[in-house]
Amino acid sequence: MSTLEFYQERAAQCAREAEATNLVNVRDRLLNARLTWLQMAERLERTNESRAVGLAHKAEALAQAAKEAEMATN
């Protein structure tokens, strides 16, 4: 299970538990926890996307540098 899946599962579990409880304060706590887990999942998704973009840019820069080095030796 990935970290993202873990966060999403915890959010779902909090939602299920909130629906099952009769205590208002417990329901509120669980719904707040659910929101926090979802926010953490969204943040992780944004981080993963940014990391992928950064790696793509780095790969492009390395490819360009290799091309320039090859042209310089010819």
Q: What is the pLDDT of residue 65?
A: 86
Low-confidence ranges of the chain (pLDDT < 50): none
Instruction: Quote the tokens at residue 38.
Output: 């979802």
Q: What is the pLDDT of residue 20?
A: 98
User: Could you give the CA distance from residue 20 to residue 59 in angstroms, rounded to a whole number?
Assistant: 50
Q: What is the pLDDT of residue 66?
A: 87
Q: What is the pLDDT of residue 73?
A: 85
Q: What is the pLDDT of residue 28?
A: 98
Domain residue ranges of the chain, discontinuous segments joined by +: 3-73
Q: What is the pLDDT of residue 45?
A: 97
User: Could you give the CA distance from residue 7 to residue 40 in angstroms, rounded to a whole number?
Assistant: 7
Q: What is the pLDDT of residue 61?
A: 87
